[in-house]
């Protein structure tokens, strides 16, 4: 029930929270490289890990942008 003169704040939806999680996770993945180096993993495996993280980072950031988009009533994607 809304009382006259009171404005309600829209709650943050699950898409926003999931988007923030993806954004933080994409950058946290880079911390695996120094960890792998400290565990004396071969340089070839670290190079493969770096490439995989690079690709995963791009995919996750694209997914982050997708979660920020919302479609309006006509099916057109709008940013909110």
- Please state, in angstroms and rounded to a whole number, the distance separating the CA atoms of residues 63 and 20: 11
Largest CA distance in the chain: 67
pLDDT one-digit tens code per residue, 14-31:
777 887 888 888 889 999
| Long-range contacts of the stretch 35-40 (C-beta < 8 A, 24+) | none
pTM: 0.63
* Two structure tokens written together for 19: 């988007």
Domain residue extents for the chain: 14-70
- Please state, in angstroms and rounded to a whole number, the distance separating the CA atoms of residues 18 and 20: 5
- Averages of pLDDT over each 10 residues, the chain, 80 residues: 60 76 88 93 95 92 75 54
* Two structure tokens written together for 26: 């994409």
The answer to whether the beta carbons of residues 31 and 72 sit under 8 Å apart is no
């Amino acid at each position: 029930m809304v009382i006259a003169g009171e404005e309600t704040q829209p709650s943050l939806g699950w898409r926003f929270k999931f988007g923030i999680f993806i954004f933080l996770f994409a950058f946290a993945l880079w911390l695996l490289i120094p960890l792998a180096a400290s565990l004396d993993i071969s340089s070839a495996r670290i190079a493969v890990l770096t490439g995989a993280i690079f690709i995963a980072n791009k995919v996750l950031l694209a997914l982050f942008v997708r979660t920020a988009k919302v479609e309006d009533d006509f099916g057109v994607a709008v940013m909110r």
